[in-house]
Amino acid sequence: MQVVEDQKDQAVEAKQGQIKITVCLSLSGIAEGGEEVYAEFQKKNF
Protein backbone atom coordinates (compact mmCIF):
# COMPACT_ATOMS: atom_id res chain seq x y z
CA MET A 1 0.00 0.00 0.00
CA GLN A 2 2.90 2.37 0.70
CA VAL A 3 3.95 2.35 -2.96
CA VAL A 4 0.52 3.55 -4.04
CA GLU A 5 0.67 6.39 -1.50
CA ASP A 6 4.12 7.42 -2.77
CA GLN A 7 2.88 7.47 -6.36
CA LYS A 8 -0.07 9.66 -5.35
CA ASP A 9 2.30 12.11 -3.64
CA GLN A 10 4.52 12.22 -6.73
CA ALA A 11 1.51 12.86 -8.96
CA VAL A 12 0.36 15.72 -6.74
CA GLU A 13 3.87 17.23 -6.68
CA ALA A 14 4.14 16.94 -10.46
CA LYS A 15 0.78 18.66 -10.87
CA GLN A 16 1.80 21.51 -8.54
CA GLY A 17 5.08 21.88 -10.44
CA GLN A 18 3.16 22.10 -13.71
CA ILE A 19 0.89 24.79 -12.26
CA LYS A 20 3.92 26.80 -11.09
CA ILE A 21 5.48 26.56 -14.57
CA THR A 22 2.21 27.65 -16.18
CA VAL A 23 1.85 30.61 -13.82
CA CYS A 24 5.46 31.67 -14.40
CA LEU A 25 5.01 31.46 -18.17
CA SER A 26 1.79 33.44 -18.13
CA LEU A 27 3.36 36.08 -15.85
CA SER A 28 6.37 36.45 -18.14
CA GLY A 29 3.99 36.54 -21.11
CA ILE A 30 2.06 39.39 -19.48
CA ALA A 31 5.33 41.20 -18.75
CA GLU A 32 6.51 40.83 -22.37
CA GLY A 33 3.13 41.91 -23.71
CA GLY A 34 3.18 44.90 -21.37
CA GLU A 35 6.61 45.95 -22.64
CA GLU A 36 5.41 45.75 -26.25
CA VAL A 37 2.31 47.79 -25.47
CA TYR A 38 4.46 50.32 -23.59
CA ALA A 39 6.87 50.60 -26.56
CA GLU A 40 3.94 51.24 -28.93
CA PHE A 41 2.56 53.79 -26.50
CA GLN A 42 5.93 55.61 -26.42
CA LYS A 43 6.07 55.69 -30.25
CA LYS A 44 2.63 57.27 -30.44
CA ASN A 45 3.57 59.95 -27.89
CA PHE A 46 6.65 61.10 -29.82
Residue 46's pLDDT band, with cuts at 50, 70 and 90, is low
| pLDDT over threshold 80, residue 1 | no
Please tell me the pTM assigned to this model.
0.46
CA atoms within 13 A on the CB side of 9: 6
Report pLDDT digits (tens) over 2-38.
777 888 888 888 788 787 878 777 777 777 887 888 8
Give CA–CA dist 9/5, Å, rounded: 6
